[in-house]
Amino acid sequence: MNRIHNFNPGPAALPLEVLQTIKEEMLDFKGTGMSILEISHRSKQFEEVLNTAIERLKRLLGIKEGFHVVFVQGGATLQFAMVPLNLSLPHRTVSYIDTGTWSTKAIKEAKILGKDVVVVASSQDKEYTYIPKDFTVDSSTSYLHFTSNNTIRGTQWKEFPNPNGVPLVSDMSSDFLSRPFDVSPFGLIYAGAQKNLGPAGCAVVLIREDMLSRSPKDLPTLLRYPVYTENNSLYNTPPCFVIYTIGLVLKWLEETIGGLQNMERINEEKAKILYEVIDRSGFYRGTAQKDSRSLMNITFRLSSEELEKRFLDEAQKNGFGGLKGHRSVGGCRASVYNAVSLESVRSLASFMEEFERVNG
C-alpha cells in the first residue's frame, strides 16, 4: 500500500481505519448482501446509520437537548444563502465578521438576497492575517455570523466572539470537532463535510430549536431548515455514503481518539511541531499573526516563488501531498486536520529542515 502524507485542504485526509472499514463493508454492508451505496435510505439499516451518527455527534459535543442535527447537500456554500433566508428577522440587520474568503462569500450571498448586512469587524486591512478583537454587536441584529477557521489565510478564533445576547452563527467547516466548545451561544453551526468529517457531498448543520420558528413558510421546500428537522434529513434521498462515512469518523473520534479533549491535545501538538520549524528558521515565514494562528492550516512562504515551487516539487517527490497554498494567495500550506497523523507531521517537519539545510 503506497499512501502519501496527505496535507490536502479539502477533500482531505480520512482516518486509515475508517477507509479500511469502508473497504471491508463495501460489497456487503452488515449482512445485507448490498453495498452501503445500494441500500435504501428508507431501510432500517440506513436509519440506524443516520441516527447513530447523530447520537455520536451530540455526545462528542455534550449536547443533551435543544439542538437538531441535519445533513444538507450543497456544502457550506449553500449555507451562505440558507442562513439569511431562514434566520434573518423582518426589518432587522444581519451581522457578519469578515476574516477572509469564506466569510466574504457568506456576506456576498446575504447581500444578493437583499438583506441589510452589517460587517461589524474585518481583518482585510492587513490581508486577513489576524482575527479582529475590538468590535460591538447591536443587540437587535438577527444573528452574528463568523468563520471559525480560515483555511486560506491560516487564522483561527481562539475564543469565539461575544454576540451581545444575539445568536451566534458559524461556518466551522475546517475546524469542526477539532476541539471541545460550548454550543449554547450558537443558533446555528454548519460545516462542509470534506475537511474534518468525511468525503465531500454535504454540510452538517446544528440548529437550535428556537431558530426554526424564524424560517419563512414561502421559501422553496429544500431551502427550509424545518423540512430537514421534521423529516430527520430524509425528506428526499440524502447523501447516504457521506453520512455513513461521517458516522465512521465520529466513531473513530469517540472510541479511538477518546473524545474532543484528546483530539485538541493532538492537534495542538501537530501545529506546534510545524510552527516551531517555521519560527526558528529565517528560511520559512509564517503568514498569520502569531496570536491568530490556526491549528488546522499552517500557512507559510519562502523567499521567492521559484524556491516555493522547488519546495513543493521536492515535497511531492518525497511523498508529501497537498502543500500548495490556495490559488488566490500562493505560498505553501499544510492542512493538519484531525485525521492527519503525528507521524505525518513529524515527517514533514524533518523534510522542511532538510530542505532548508540544502537550499538555505
In the set 58, 115, 195, 324, the catalytic residue is 195
**Do residues 131 and 59 share a domain?**
yes
252 catalytically annotated: no
- Give the CATH number of the domain where residue 339 resides: 3.90.1150.10
Mean pLDDT of the chain: 97
Of the three residues 257, 282, 300, the one that is the final residue of a domain is 257
**Does the predicted model carry a pTM greater than 0.75?**
yes
Of the three residues 257, 277, 306, the one that is the final residue of a domain is 257
List, for residues 217-247, the tens digit of each pLDDT value.
999 999 999 999 999 999 999 999 999 999 9
Overall average pLDDT of the 287-313 stretch? 97
Overall average pLDDT of the 315-328 stretch? 97
**Do residues 284 and 155 share a domain?**
no
3: in domain = no
**Do residues 135 and 267 share a domain?**
no
pLDDT bucket at 33, cuts 50 / 70 / 90? very high
What are the helix (H) ranges across 148-251? 225-230, 240-251
Query: What would the grid cell of residue 24 be?
Result: 471491508
- Give the CATH number of the domain where residue 250 resides: 3.40.640.10
Q: Please check the confidence at residue 294 and state whether its pLDDT lies above 90.
A: yes
Local structure of residue 139 (DSSP, 8 states) = T
171 catalytically annotated: yes
Q: Please check the confidence at residue 1 and state whether its pLDDT lies above 80.
A: no
The amino acid present at 111, given as its one-letter code, is K
In the set 102, 115, 252, 324, the catalytic residue is 102
**Do residues 306 and 220 share a domain?**
no
List, for residues 96-142, the tens digit of each pLDDT value.
999 999 999 999 999 999 999 999 999 999 999 999 999 999 999 99
DSSP string, 320-338: EES-BPPTTT-SEEEE--T
**Helices 16-25 and 240-251 sit at what angle, rounded to 10 degrees?**
130
**Do residues 89 and 207 share a domain?**
yes
Q: Based on the structure, what is the number of domains in the chain?
A: 2
197: in domain = yes
Q: What is the pLDDT of residue 339?
A: 98
**Do residues 25 and 101 share a domain?**
yes
In the set 171, 175, 252, 324, the catalytic residue is 171
